[in-house]
Amino acid sequence: MLIPSIGRHVEKIKQKIDHSLGLPFQKVLPESTIDASVEAEKKRYRKRIYTPAVTVWAFLSQMLSKDKSCKNTVSRIIADRAAKGEPIPSADPSAYSQARQRFPEKALSHLVLQSGDDLEARVPKEGLWKGRHIQIIDGSTLLMADTPENQAAYPQHGNQKEGCGFPLVRIVATFSLITGALRKLLIGDWKTAEVRLAREIYPTLEPDTVVLGDAIFGSYADFWLLGQNGLDGLFQIHGARKTDFRKGQRLGKGDHLAFWPKPKQCPKGLPKEIYDQLPKSLTIRELKCAIVRKGFRTQTIILVTTLLDPVAYPKEELEQVFGLRWQVELDLRHIKTTMNMEFLKAESPQMVRKEIDAHLLAYNLIRTLMWEAGLQHGVDPLRLSFQATIQHLLNFIPQLAQAGQNKRRELIHVLLALIAREKLPDRSGRCEPRVRKRRPKAYPLMQEPRHILRKKLVA
């Protein structure tokens, strides 16, 4: 009699937690989708309170919270259960922590990519640029807890003394220009160049996609690799490359086809086997563009692209598209700053990667919510405030958890209306200095490991 009663008790608590935690995410990330991703990794679960779905939903809630500790997440679950007079799980966060460790890493990564693909699939054909998807590529770095395991997998930067820095991970990601959702992601240590990670992403992109990025991605080898994968690229020209608009095939003012010769030596970081496959020359379109901003000097930049047809892809339209490249900087800022992902608290490399994926999954679900709001109220989703969307969602979650089915539909309608009203002003051409007004505290930087500094204090 004891075992069945415990099983029923656990199942009852599980269903209550399912209902509460899943409310903000069940529509776009249902339990069936989570279970399918786990089954694909051939992972089996016993009957527990923290099922795969509950674990993921709690993980998402944790990443959206300011206090990202496991203890705070479990406390939030308990508070919700206590308010309803329902059975509560243990206050010890170890069960939840173990559930996060149990969840397959590949399954979580799959959910991130699937969420981005699902949102992109909702874009109508007429909403694409000339019927084509555009993905913006860029990279960044993140810090993490200074543990021996993290240091071994993602060592601190080489210019920092041992024991005085933090492990550093490099990420390279692509984002949809239309929805802002993250589509692809690769992770490496700080020594891994962004272009090397980007070259691993190209074969995974949907053919006929246009890749938009800054100058680092517009090398000879990268243009060839893009073509090999049925992709096109639009980048700013690298500062080391010289161009002459008096040469090549003229297409218009400040617009010509240039014939790039193969580099005489294999570039640093490019595998020799790829260098040997490169053709003797490539035809690249070069565009001279003027950036005019009121109150500033006119700047001239040169763009390079494999979109060679000046009729199908007029120069003015390519300039406009490249002007939207800045969107990726905002996307990365939302993930790192708005969602507080600049410093990862996980103490093992595996959990570091899971923490990154959980942040990105939450990011894509927020983007989906913004898309829903924009679609229902006729507003461009990319013009809506990401920060305000998170604030409204977190404030509505407790009310959604306590509402009945009819009331819940009404609350979701109000939530989407509120999000749609958070329209940001048009800031095209905005230019702000990178300076800080608030002065940091006058503590010196750590130049020696902490255990040595402690000994000096008591000496």
Q: What is the pLDDT of residue 455?
A: 87
Q: Which of 305, 334, 363 is the last residue of a domain?
A: 334
- Name the burial class of residue 39, with classes exposed (0-12), middle (13-18) and buried (19+) by CB atoms within 10 angstroms of its CB: middle
Query: Of 334, 360, 385, which residue constitutes the final position of a domain?
Result: 334
Same domain, 293 and 313: yes
Within a domain: 373: yes
Residues 6+ apart with CB under 8 A from 430: none
Residues 226 and 316 reside in one and the same domain: yes
Which residues on neighbouring strands pair with residue 173, listed in sequence order? Answer: 138, 185
Q: CA dist 180 to 239, 245, 273, 448, Å?
A: 28, 35, 35, 42
Which of 308, 371, 25 is closest to 181 using CA atoms? 371
Does some domain include residue 225? yes
pLDDT value for 119: 93
Nearest of 34, 23, 84 to residue 405 by alpha carbon: 23
Same domain? 70 vs 216: no
Give the rounded distance of the alpha carbon of 136 from its chain centre: 11
Instruction: Specify if 91 maps to a domain.
Output: yes
Q: Are 419 and 392 in contact (CB under 8 A)?
A: yes
Please tell me whether residues 397 and 280 are part of one structural domain: no
Residues 122 and 14 in one domain: no
Is the same domain home to 275 and 373? no
Q: Are residues 125 and 221 in the same domain?
A: yes
Q: Is residue 453 part of a domain?
A: no
- CA distance linking residue 384 with residue 393, whole number of Å: 14
Contacts with 261 (C-beta within 8 Å, 6 or more apart), sequence order: 280, 281
Q: Which of 103, 122, 149 is the last residue of a domain?
A: 103
The pLDDT value given to residue 18: 44
263: domain CATH number is: 3.90.350.10
Q: State residue 294's pLDDT score.
A: 59
Token code pair at residue 30:
């249902």
Q: Which pLDDT belongs to residue 88?
A: 74
Q: Give 128-193 as a DSSP string.
A: SBTTB-EEEEEEEEEEE---HHHHHHSPPPTTS-TTSS--EEEEEEEEETTT--EEEEEEEETTS-
Give the H or E element holding residue 451. helix 450-458
Other beta carbons less than 10 A from residue 354's beta carbon: 21
In a shared domain, residues 50 and 168 = no
pLDDT of res. 407: 85
Domain that holds residue 368: 350-421
Q: What is the pLDDT of residue 458?
A: 80
Q: 372: part of which helix (H) or strand (E)? A: helix 349-377
Cα torsion through 184, 100, 91, 72, rounded to 10:
-20
- Give the residue carrying structure tokens 């507080």: 340
Residues in the chain: 459
For the chain, the farthest-separated pair of C-alpha atoms sits apart, in whole angstroms, at 89
Write the DSSP symbol of residue 113: H
Residues 233 and 381 in one domain: no
Do residue 174 and residue 322 come from a single domain? yes
User: Is residue 232 domain-resident?
Assistant: yes
- The answer to whether residue 345 sits within a structural domain is no
Q: Tell whether 47 and 186 lie within a shared domain.
A: no
Q: Are residues 44 and 135 in the same domain?
A: no
Decide if 132 contacts 208 (C-beta within 8 A).
yes
Phi-psi region of 127 (alpha: psi -120 to 50; beta: other; left: phi over 0): alpha
Separation of alpha carbons 315 and 289, rounded Å? 9
Tens place of pLDDT for every residue, the chain, 459 residues? 233 333 444 444 444 444 444 455 666 788 888 888 988 888 777 666 778 888 888 888 888 888 888 898 888 878 777 776 767 777 888 988 998 999 999 999 999 999 999 999 999 999 899 999 999 999 999 999 999 999 999 999 988 888 888 999 999 999 999 999 999 999 999 999 999 999 999 999 999 999 999 999 999 999 999 999 999 999 999 888 888 899 999 999 999 999 999 999 999 889 999 999 999 999 999 999 877 655 556 678 899 999 999 999 999 999 999 988 988 999 999 999 999 999 999 999 999 999 999 999 999 999 999 999 999 999 999 999 999 999 998 888 878 777 777 888 888 899 999 999 999 887 666 666 778 888 888 888 888 888 888 888 886
Whether 421 and 383 have beta carbons less than 8 Å apart is answered as no
| Residue 442 domain-assigned (yes or no) | no
- What is the Cα 287 distance to its own chain's centre? 30
**Residue whose pair of structure tokens reads 């089915």 in the numeric block:** 405
Domain count along the chain: 3
**pLDDT attached to residue 453:** 86
Put simply, whether the predicted model's pTM sits higher than 0.75 gets the answer yes
Contact (Cβ atoms closer than 8 angstroms) between residue 363 and residue 409: no
Chain center to CA of 373: 21
Q: Rounded to an integer, what distance in angstroms lies between the CA atom of residue 62 and that of residue 359?
A: 9
- Residues β-bridged to residue 135: 176, 211
- H/E run at residue 197: helix 194-201
Alpha helices in 293-343 (DSSP H): 315-323, 327-333
Q: How far apart are CA 430 and CA 295, in angstroms?
A: 11
Structural domain includes residue 285: yes
Residue-level pLDDT at 8: 47
Task: Extract the tokens encoding 279.
Answer: 């053709």
